[in-house]
C-alpha cells in the first residue's frame, strides 16, 4: 500500500506540472493572437485602446471558458494525472474570471464604438447587433453564460434542486458554441489571418470532441459492455434508499470505495439527466451499490425503480480513495448520509490499518447502515472502531478538543470526512488546530459532485 501511495502522489504531482505547462502555453498562444495582429492605430486614441483591451479580454475569457469545459470533460488520463477534485476546483475558479472578462469585453467594446461614433450606448448596442454578423447569437451566448455563472455560486446553488442547477449549467456549452461564429467573422485577430482562425477553430473542435467522446461515447460503450441493471431496491431508513445494481466484469471499471459515478436510470423521469451518487459499498465483480437520501424529486423517485431497469453510468470519479492515505491510522468522519462513501471506503483499508469512524447524526433514526458498521467492528479483530454521535451540535461539538478526546491519535492520522459543508469546514478547522497538514485531510463535501 505504501508503494501505491507513493506512486499516486508522484503521478498526481507530475500531472499537475504538465497540465499547468499545457494550459500556460495555450494561454500564451491565445494572447499572441491579439498582440501579433495589433496595429499602431489600435492604441492611437483612448477609444481605440479601450477597444483593443476589450478584444484581449474576450480572447482570454473565452479561452478560460474552453479550458473550463476541458477540465470537466472526464478525460481519463487527465483525471488520473491531475485528480478529479483538483480539476473541479480549477473549473470553479476559472468560471467567474471567464464571465468577468467576457463581461468587460461587452461593456468596453460598446463604450469604445459609441465614443467613436458619438452616439448613446443603447443606440450603438442596437447598431452592433444588427450590423455585425452573428451578434444576436453572441448576445444569446452571453446571457446563457450569465445564467450558468450566477447559479454556480454557493448561495444560489443551495437554493435550487440539482436538476434545475444541471439544466442551467449545461447552458455553458450552448453559450460557448453560440459565440464562435461572431468571433471568427468579426474578430480583428481572425480576419485575413487564416492560421489564427485555424488555431481557434481547432480549440473549439477539440472541446466538442472531448464532450462527445468522454461525456457520452465512452460511458455509452461501458454501460453496454457491463450490462448494468437494477437488481434490488432496499429501504434503509426514513427517506434513505439503497439501489443494488448487477452487471458483468465490473472489475474493469477499476472503481474504488469512496468514489462516485454519475447515474442515469433508463426509465421515465430519470433517462434525460444523470445524477452523482457515491458508492456505499466497495464494488465487486458483479454488484455496485449506492445509498440515496430523499433530497428532491429525483432521489425520492429512486425508491420506485423496478428490477431490470437499465443503468447508464459515467465514472468512476473522485479522489476520495484509500490510496491517498499516508498514515497507518485513519480517522473517518461521516455526517448523516455522508456515511455512505465512508462505509465503502472502509472496505479498502487492509493489512492491519487502524480505523476510527465518527458517525455524526441529529437523531438515532438517521443512523444509516448501522448494522453493517457494527458487523465490520465485530469482525475486525479490534482494528475498527465506530463512534456514534447522536444529538445536537451543542451535545457533540466537532472542535479540536472534542475530537482529540474521542480519538487521542487523531493528530497523527489521515482524516477522511464526508458530509454537509458546515461539518466539513468545522472539522477542517479542528484538523488545522491539531496540526494535521493539508495532505492528510481528505474531504468530500455534500454539494453537487459534477460539473
In a domain, 187, yes or no: yes
Closest to 5 in 3D by CA, of 415, 333, 328: 328
Q: Would you state the pLDDT for residue 448?
A: 44
Q: Are residues 339 and 303 in the same domain?
A: no
- How many whole angstroms separate alpha carbon 146 and alpha carbon 125? 18
Q: For the chain, how many structural domains are there in total?
A: 3
Q: Are residues 177 and 281 in the same domain?
A: no
- How many whole angstroms separate alpha carbon 444 and alpha carbon 249? 28
Which residues contact residue 338 at a Cβ distance below 8 angstroms, ignoring those fewer than 6 apart?
417, 418, 419, 420, 423, 444, 446
Closest to 228 in 3D by CA, of 297, 302, 280, 284: 284
Q: Would you state the pLDDT for residue 82?
A: 74
Q: Domain ends where: 189, 215, 241? A: 215
Contact call for residues 88 and 74 (beta carbons, < 8 A): no
Question: At 233, which CATH number?
Answer: 2.40.30.10
Q: Are residues 295 and 363 in the same domain?
A: no
pLDDT digit of tens for each residue in the chain (451 aa)? 444 444 444 445 555 677 788 888 999 999 999 999 998 888 889 999 999 999 999 999 999 999 988 888 888 777 767 777 778 788 888 888 999 999 999 999 999 999 999 999 999 999 999 999 999 999 998 988 888 877 777 776 667 766 677 777 777 788 888 889 999 999 999 999 999 999 999 999 999 999 899 888 988 898 999 999 999 999 887 788 899 999 999 999 989 999 899 899 988 767 667 788 899 999 999 999 999 887 655 566 788 899 999 999 988 888 788 988 989 999 999 988 889 999 999 999 988 899 999 999 988 888 889 999 999 999 988 899 999 999 888 888 889 999 999 999 999 999 999 988 888 899 999 999 999 998 899 887 655 444 4
DSSP symbols for 406-421 = H-TTGGGSEEEEEE-H
Alpha carbon separation from 393 to 293, 365, 405 (Å, rounded): 21, 17, 16
Note the pLDDT tens digit of each residue in 378-421.
998 889 999 999 988 888 888 999 999 999 999 999 999 998 88
The DSSP symbol for 273 reads -
Q: Domain ends where: 191, 215, 239? A: 215
Rg (alpha carbons) of the chain, rounded to whole number: 25
Q: Would you state the pLDDT for residue 56?
A: 94
Structural domain of 353: 323-445
- As separate numbers, helices (DSSP H) first and strands (DSSP E) second, the chain gives 16, 11
- How many whole angstroms separate alpha carbon 438 and alpha carbon 432? 8
In a domain, 221, yes or no: no
Q: Are residues 297 and 408 in the same domain?
A: no
Q: Would you state the pLDDT for residue 155?
A: 72
In a domain, 450, yes or no: no
Alpha carbon separation from 336 to 159, 194, 366, 372, 389 (Å, rounded): 20, 57, 7, 15, 10
Q: Are residues 207 and 243 in the same domain?
A: no
Name the 3-class secondary structure at 321: coil
Q: Are residues 242 and 193 in the same domain?
A: no
- How many whole angstroms separate alpha carbon 355 and alpha carbon 339? 14
Amino acid at each position: 500500500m505504501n508503494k501505491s501511495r507513493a506512486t499516486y502522489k508522484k503521478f498526481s504531482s507530475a500531472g499537475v506540472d504538465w497540465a499547468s505547462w499545457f494550459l500556460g502555453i495555450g494561454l500564451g498562444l491565445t494572447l499572441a493572437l491579439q498582440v501579433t495582429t495589433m496595429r499602431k492605430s489600435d492604441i492611437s486614441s483612448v477609444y481605440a485602446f479601450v477597444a483593443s483591451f476589450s478584444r484581449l479580454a474576450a480572447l482570454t475569457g473565452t479561452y478560460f471558458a474552453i479550458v473550463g469545459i476541458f477540465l470537466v470533460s472526464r478525460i481519463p488520463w487527465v483525471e488520473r494525472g491531475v485528480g478529479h477534485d483538483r480539476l473541479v476546483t480549477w473549473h470553479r475558479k476559472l468560471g467567474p474570471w471567464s464571465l468577468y472578462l467576457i463581461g468587460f469585453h461587452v461593456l468596453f467594446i460598446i463604450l469604445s464604438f459609441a465614443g467613436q461614433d458619438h452616439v448613446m450606448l443603447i443606440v450603438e448596442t442596437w447598431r452592433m447587433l444588427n450590423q455585425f454578423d452573428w451578434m444576436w447569437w453572441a448576445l444569446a451566448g452571453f446571457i446563457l453564460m450569465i445564467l450558468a455563472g450566477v447559479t454556480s455560486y454557493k448561495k444560489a446553488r443551495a437554493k435550487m434542486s440539482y436538476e434545475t442547477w444541471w439544466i442551467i449549467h449545461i447552458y455553458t456549452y450552448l453559450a460557448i458554441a453560440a459565440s464562435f461564429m461572431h468571433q471568427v467573422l468579426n474578430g480583428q485577430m481572425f480576419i485575413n489571418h487564416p492560421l489564427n482562425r485555424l488555431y481557434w477553430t481547432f480549440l473549439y473542435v477539440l472541446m466538442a470532441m472531448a464532450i462527445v467522446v468522454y461525456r457520452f461515447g465512452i460511458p455509452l460503450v461501458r454501460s453496454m459492455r457491463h450490462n448494468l441493471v437494477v437488481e434490488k431496491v432496499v429501504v434503509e431508513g426514513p427517506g434513505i434508499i439503497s439501489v443494488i445494481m448487477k452487471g458483468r466484469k465490473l472489475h474493469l471499471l477499476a472503481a474504488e470505495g469512496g468514489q462516485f459515478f454519475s447515474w442515469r436510470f433508463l426509465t421515465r423521469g430519470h433517462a434525460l439527466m444523470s445524477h452523482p451518487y457515491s458508492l456505499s459499498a466497495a464494488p465487486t465483480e458483479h454488484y455496485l451499490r449506492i445509498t440515496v437520501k430523499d433530497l428532491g424529486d429525483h432521489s425520492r423517485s429512486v425508491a420506485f425503480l423496478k428490477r431490470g431497469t437499465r443503468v447508464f453510468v459515467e465514472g468512476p470519479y473522485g479522489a476520495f480513495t484509500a490510496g491517498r492515505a499516508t498514515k497507518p491510522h485513519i480517522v473517518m468522519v461521516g455526517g448523516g448520509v455522508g456515511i455512505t462513501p465512508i462505509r465503502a471506503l472502509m472496505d479498502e483499508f487492509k493489512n492491519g490499518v487502524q480505523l476510527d469512524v465518527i458517525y455524526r447524526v441529529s437523531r438515532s433514526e438517521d443512523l444509516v447502515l448501522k448494522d453493517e458498521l457494527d458487523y465490520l467492528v465485530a469482525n475486525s479483530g479490534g482494528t475498527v472502531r465506530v463512534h456514534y454521535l447522536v444529538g445536537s451540535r451543542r451535545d457533540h461539538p466537532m472542535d479540536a478538543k472534542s475530537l482529540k478526546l474521542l480519538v487521542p491519535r487523531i493528530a497523527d492520522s489521515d482524516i477522511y470526512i464526508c458530509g454537509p459543508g458546515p461539518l466539513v469546514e468545522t472539522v477542517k478547522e479542528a484538523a488545522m488546530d491539531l496540526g494535521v497538514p493539508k495532505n492528510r485531510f481528505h474531504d468530500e463535501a455534500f454539494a453537487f459532485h459534477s460539473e
